[in-house]
Amino acid sequence: MTNINELLQGFHRFRLKNFEPNRELFNQLAMKGQTPRTLLIGCSDSRVDPAILTDSAPGALFVIRNVANLIPPCETGGRYHGTSAAVEYAVCNLEVDNIIVLGHSRCGG
């Protein structure tokens, strides 16, 4: 997809093909919140989509994506730690059972 019209058309297709048939699941996720059992740390590469690769239903994965699926070391001192915060949230709040680091070939990171 290269322009905004293609993105909008894709969103409309998603609503018809994915949202409508699974409306109850999406409503349940919205009302009760998420309870994923797996934290998946993957690359931001546009060629690799963890949910598609694992054929996971909405709500099944808590996904962190960044360049080269790296987790920077946690440091003190007032720095921003978005990735570390997401890992901590998944482990401490969501209480995930599994942590998967998903790498791929020809990564540019």
Catalytic residues: 43, 45, 47, 104, 107
Q: Is 69 exposed, middle or buried (0-12, 13-18, 19+ CB in 10 A)?
A: buried
Decide: 34 and 26 in contact? Cβ < 8 Å: no
For residue 64, list its beta bridge partners.
Answer: 41
Neighbours of 22 (CB within 10 A): 14
C-alpha pair distances (Å), 28 with each of 16, 31, 32, 35, 52: 18, 5, 6, 11, 21
